[in-house]
Amino acid sequence: MNNQILQSDYRYGFSKPENYTFKSKKGLNKKTVEEISRHKNEPEWMLRFRLEALAVFYKKQMPVWGGDLSRINFDDIYYYIKPIKDKAGSWEELPKEIKETYDAIGIPEAEKKFLGGVSAQYESEVVYKSIQKTLGDKGVIFLDMDTGLREFPDLVREYFGTLIPPQDNKFSALNSAVWSGGSFIYVPKGVKVELPLQAYFRINAANMGQFERTLIIADEGSYVHYVEGCTAPVYTTDSLHSAVVEIFVKKGARVRYTTIQNWSGNVYNLVTKRMRVETEGFGEWIDGNIGSKLTMKYPSVYLMGKGARGEILSVAYAGANQHQDAGGKAIHFAPYTSSKITSKSVSADGGRTSYRGLIQVFPSAIKAKTKVICDALLIDDTSRSDTYPTMDIRHNDVQIEHEATVSKIGDEQLFYLNSRGLKKADAEAMIVNGFIEPIVKELPLEYAVELNRLIQLEMEGSVG
Amino acid sequence: MSILSIKNLSVQLEDKKILSGINLELLRGKIHCLMGPNGSGKSTLAQVLMGHPGYLTTSGQISILGRNLEEKATDERARLGMFLAFQNPVAVPGVSVANLLRMALGQNHNGKGRSKHNPALNLVSSVNEKILAVSRKLEMPREFLNRGLNEEFSGGEKKKLEMLQALILSPRVAIFDEIDTGLDVDALRIVAHGISLLKKAGCSILLITHYQRILKFAKPDYVHILIKGKLVSSGSFILARKIEKSGYREWLSP
């Protein structure tokens, strides 16, 4: 009942007529994979990689923990869709339909204001990108993954699939077999990219899986902030989004990866994200999950070098019929490494959030420091929140902190805000926005505004 | 001119009668002081006027400028010009007073001028300036404006935050529930100055207090005495002086 209200109210639930130049058949088999690879003119090794991954996918069991995955039908999904013949180099060259879709989510506006480099993805292929010239002059590579593979095959081969191999889990295997699109970024030694690099992703065909693949390499002493935001239109059948993100943070480098995802209520969002941080490097995940039917996502930091740091900020909102199973993992391999995981989750209207986290400290990681804070806010009595923290500490010379709170919106808080003229839904949204504020303030301004607004819309929908 | 009219108001909390047969007219640009011993129902009256859902009104009527408030929820009452400064304002983590006021002003304008995407942004600059100006008058450090509402503020600072909101929202009727407790002399003078500014702007003020101190700075036009849920006496400032001398004995004796 509530779901229907939410879905019919879903503000981003527009969809455009489908207009594709190539669409693979539904279902997954060797032929599909070969077709994808051939269509992209990939090197032989990538085809082999895909086929091996497919074999792994067949062998791997579905995860039995986390959320309910039983309704995913792998035979009922399109694995590759290419929307238009060539990539457009500028906004004007984009087909009208695609421009309208972007207009509806506000991307040109965003570009005007902020963007240093834009690489926006429309379904499986990046159709619109404009890379600021200065990036190129500094030697920064910012391409869609397909082009990256074509233009820098050796660099891609050195790193691709080495941090998250297909064997990691069933969905990393699936992504490895059928991946398409995503971003490829290389930042040379000592180069600091001052403006965030941004990409917008969208799924726009019923039953289409989106399997983007992102690879970021930040060479020694460099800095880059990558920002990714997603909205998806509503469909009656279930959609699958399963991405893989691998990030290499070299000595003294810093990478921040920000995601705001707002999938419609029928999307399975199953993503594997990992950062490898070398000596004195700093890797940060900022991860916002709104919408989707089920999200399972635990960005991780592998702290490999002495003094490496990792931070994960995770915020999740689950409304009616939604399950956000999110959190983070920090694995300490080296001495003096430090990690911090902050998770804030909001459950409303019968929604369910779970924090799932792992802290692992190996004997080699003396003087390691780690801190986990997970706070849950429940809007009503029908909503649910769980925490599944795991700690595996293999020695004593380590500093560990763990804080967890669960709170409910208080009647007195509501009365206070109402007495200032705020309607109930707005007052609740304001309390929620205040609750997640420690994370929102880390976002670039327009994303902060968007996140607050999205949550407000979700809540207005759920109360109406 | 009467702004807020209370007629024969009786209220209970669960089975307990708290207020009975209250009649009171709050006048434009006047300070009405409400006094009474602990537990006489002063705070209940304040909360009931603001529409707190926890109380049951068993009889009577409250109206603002002739509009009956019976069916009006708290937020509607606020938009009609009612304001309550809380005795113990609750903390709302992560929500700054500036944020709250921007949102409140956006709604008080009946949604006019609200941008589709972000209601706050339109008003930001003018409201921000106003907030800054008022906060300077109240001698509040700028960082107070962006800190979480009532979070880690001292008692006196919270009271100033309440006064700040009153001055920005400029209500028709402002109820101050023990705004003077926990204030040092300087803060008391500042808060009283806020009350006189509201009065000058034509606001009708209900000042609930235990003490005479604030009345020296914000001189009431009328004093009302509430004992065991009943208004037993109304008069001028002289009534407050009398209470200072001999307390409530006169009305408490059986």
Q: Please list the pLDDT of chain A residue by residue as tens digits (464 residues).
A: 333 333 334 445 545 555 555 667 778 999 999 999 998 899 999 999 999 999 999 999 999 888 999 988 888 888 876 654 444 445 555 556 555 655 555 554 444 333 333 344 443 334 334 455 667 788 999 888 988 999 999 999 999 999 999 999 999 999 999 998 888 999 999 999 987 787 654 444 444 458 889 999 999 999 999 988 665 554 445 688 899 999 999 999 999 999 888 787 888 999 999 999 999 999 999 999 888 899 999 999 999 999 999 999 999 999 999 999 999 999 999 999 999 999 999 999 999 999 999 999 999 999 999 999 999 999 988 999 999 999 999 999 999 999 998 888 888 999 999 999 999 988 998 999 899 888 888 877 767 777 777 777 777 655 43
CB B232 within 8 A of CB B226: yes
List Cα–Cα distances, B9 to A177, B6, B19, B62, B75, in angstroms: 74, 7, 7, 8, 21
* Domain boundaries B2-252, CATH class: alpha beta
Instruction: Count the helices and strands in chain B (H runs, E runs).
Output: 9, 12
CB A440 within 8 A of CB A433: yes
User: 3-state DSSP: chain B helix, strand, coil percent, rounded to 5?
Assistant: 40, 30, 30
Q: How far apart are CA A440 and CA A84, in angstroms?
A: 36
B12 three-class SS: strand
Selected residue with higher pLDDT from A103 and B220: B220
pLDDT tens digits, residue range B95-133?
Answer: 999 989 988 987 654 333 333 444 444 455 677 888 999
Predicted local distance difference test score (pLDDT) of residue A244: 97
Q: In angstroms, how far is CA A375 from the centroid of its own chain? A: 21
Give every CB contact of residue B246 below 8 A, 6+ residues apart in sequence.
none
Nearest of A297, A79, A327 to residue A207 by alpha carbon: A79
Q: Is A394 on the interface with B (CB under 8 A)?
A: no
- pLDDT tier, B182 (very low <50, low <70, confident <90, very high otherwise): confident
Q: How far apart are CA B198 and CA A231, in angstroms?
A: 47
Q: In angstroms, how far is CA B206 from the centroid of its own chain? A: 7
Burial of B245 (0-12, 13-18, 19+ CB in 10 A): exposed
Nearest of A291, A294, A297 to residue A451 by alpha carbon: A291
Domains of chain B by residue range: 2-252
CB A258 within 8 A of CB A62: no
Q: How far apart are CA A422 and CA A30, in angstroms?
A: 57
Q: Is B1 on the interface with A (CB under 8 A)?
A: no
The amino acid sitting at A453 is R
Give percent of chain B above pLDDT 70. Answer: 92
CB A96 within 8 A of CB A127: no
Nearest residue of A to residue B175, measured between CA atoms: A419
Q: How far apart are CA A122 and CA A103, in angstroms?
A: 13
Domains of chain A by residue range: 2-463
> What residues of chain B lie within 8 A of the CB of A418, using their CB?
51, 73-75, 78
Burial of A9 (0-12, 13-18, 19+ CB in 10 A): middle
* The Cα angle at residue B53 between residues B47 and B58, in degrees rounded to 5: 85
Predicted local distance difference test score (pLDDT) of residue B109: 44
The amino acid sitting at B190 is I
Q: Is A415 on the interface with B (CB under 8 A)?
A: yes
- pLDDT tier, B73 (very low <50, low <70, confident <90, very high otherwise): very high
Q: Is A417 on the interface with B (CB under 8 A)?
A: yes
- How many CA atoms does the CB half-sphere of A220 hold within 13 Å? 3
Predicted TM-score of the model (pTM) = 0.77
Of A106, A423, A431, the CB nearest to B107: A423
Beta strands in A250-306 (DSSP E): 254-263, 267-277, 282-291, 294-297, 300-303
Q: What residues form DSSP beta bridges with A383?
A: none
pLDDT tens digits, residue range B185-218?
Answer: 999 999 999 999 999 999 999 999 988 888 888 8
Q: Is A436 on the interface with B (CB under 8 A)?
A: yes
The amino acid sitting at B165 is Q
Of B84, B107, B118, the CB nearest to A419: B84
Of B50, B54, B92, the CB nearest to A419: B50
List Cα–Cα distances, A21 to A24, A39, A200, B185, in angstroms: 10, 12, 21, 77
- H/E run at residue A142: strand A141-144
> What residues of chain A lie within 8 A of the CB of B82, using their CB?
419
Nearest residue of B to residue A425, measured between CA atoms: B75
B249's tokens: 């004995």
Please report the residues numbered 86 through 115 in chain B whose beta carbons come closer than 8 angstroms to any beta carbon of chain A: 86, 89-90, 92-95, 99-101, 103-104, 107-108
CB A268 within 8 A of CB A238: yes
Nearest residue of A to residue B93, measured between CA atoms: A434
List Cα–Cα distances, A82 to A16, A101, B51, in angstroms: 15, 16, 58
